[in-house]
Amino acid sequence: MEENINRIFPCSWYAVGFSNELGKKPVRKKVIGRNMVLYRDQKGGAHALHAYCPHRGADLSLGCVKNGRLMCAYHGWEFNGEGDCEEIPSQPGKPIPKFAHTASFPVTEHAGLIWVYPKPASDQEVPDFQIMPDLEDARYRLSPYKAEWKAHFTRVVESVLDVAHLSFVHKKTIGKRSKQAIQDLPYTHDGDQIVIQNGGGLLEYWFPQQWILRPSEKTKNSFINYVTFTPVDEEETLIFGYAGRTFAKKLKFMDKTFSKYSLKVLDEDKSVVESQHPRPIPEALRMEAHVYADGPQIAFRKRWFDFLTADEEHVSLDQPVKVY
Ligand code: FES
Ligand SMILES: [Fe+2]
């Protein structure tokens, strides 16, 4: 069967939530159609398993953590972080069959976010995750925010590479001083990176999922804004963000102000991006009208089309997870 290119996404590390949201209770998440349950073992390590129990398909997030293992709510089967079943209470002492095991997904935590790799751990070697270094720079105090958009991943990514929309969509906030005419928009595109110089700000994007805005020159009081995108499926994308500041760091109450403002800005984009048709970017450049100011988005499209046509690791919504 030929793959539907609107339903495949780069196989990469995607954020599923903030670390402090995952406590004692298992939680359900979805990345590129993969339903997962996340939980913490007794040492606090995060794990992600296929969401449905291999026994009778109960949702494992209804269960609880027992001795560091995830216990299903229905008949008490217990799974370790690799998805191996280690306990079947109805037949104590008997060997546990292989088909009682389930799939697990690689998990890592960086900058207060939980990241999941959407291919089962046993499938292949997993690349190291590299987060943009600003996020681990102690000079910044980070205020978190998140949003859910009913839009295709590609449209969401393009919205943050778009400079010409600032004076329209964000005329009351970040685009107050932006000019409508874009006569000079220097940018570079090298492999997975696109860097755009926009006035005093430098926008940097790392394919497929990370983006940051930082001042182009180092100043004493500086402000950054970071977002990462997670494809839930063809129709929905999650956005996790941090507003970072080097000033007023002791004023914790300011965190809310920064988070709220960033969300407000993001919300200004939402209805426009959610309205875009076709849902993903069209499959060839000529199918939409481009002008000079769209240069960085054209660079993204080229990278996306390379992804669609080359033999890069990808995940398809049409391929279910193999659980054992
Ligand atoms: S359905 Fe999970 S233990 Fe039976
Ligand atoms: Fe925007």
Q: Per-residue pLDDT tens for 14-70?
A: 999 999 999 999 999 999 999 999 999 999 999 999 999 999 999 999 999 999 999
State phi, psi for 208 to the nearest 5 degrees.
Answer: -100, -15
What is the three-class DSSP state of 159? helix
Among candidate residues 293, 305, 269, the one with its CA nearest the CA of residue 151: 269
- Give, in order, the Cα–Cα distances in Å from 110 to each of 44, 62, 120, 198: 14, 27, 20, 28
Tokens of 152: 């295709």
Q: What are the residue ranges of CATH 2.102.10.10 in the chain?
A: 5-116
Tell me the DSSP string of 244-302. Answer: EESSSTT-TTHHHHHHHHHHHHHHHHHHHHHH-SSSSPPSSGGGS---GGGHHHHHHHH
3-18: average pLDDT = 94
φ, ψ at 302 (rounded to 5°): -60, -45
Find the 28 Cα to ligand 1 centroid distance in Å.
17
Task: List, in order, residues 6 or more apart from 20 with CB less than 8 Å away.
Answer: 112
The Cα 72–Cα 51 span in angstroms is 10
Closest residue CA from atom 1 of ligand 1: 56
The pTM score is: 0.96
- 264 CA distance to ligand 2 centroid (A)? 10
Where do the CATH 3.90.380.10 domains begin and end in the chain? 133-309
Name the amino acid, one letter, at 299. Answer: A
Mean pLDDT, residues 93-122 taken together: 95
Shortest-distance ligand to the CA of residue 91: 1
**Spacing, Cα 162 to ligand 2 middle (Å):** 7
Ligand 1 touching residue 176 (CB < 6 A): no
Residue 1 is predicted with a pLDDT of 57
Under CATH, which number does the domain 133-309 receive? 3.90.380.10
Q: Phi, psi at residue 314, to the nearest 5°?
A: -140, 165
Class of CATH domain 5-116 = mainly beta
Going by alpha carbons, the residue nearest to atom 4 of ligand 1 is: 75
User: How far, in Å, from the CA of 266 to the mean position of ligand 2?
Assistant: 6
Read off the amino acid at residue 172.
K
pLDDT of residue 219: 82
Tell me: the pLDDT tens digits for 193-216?
999 999 889 999 999 999 999 998
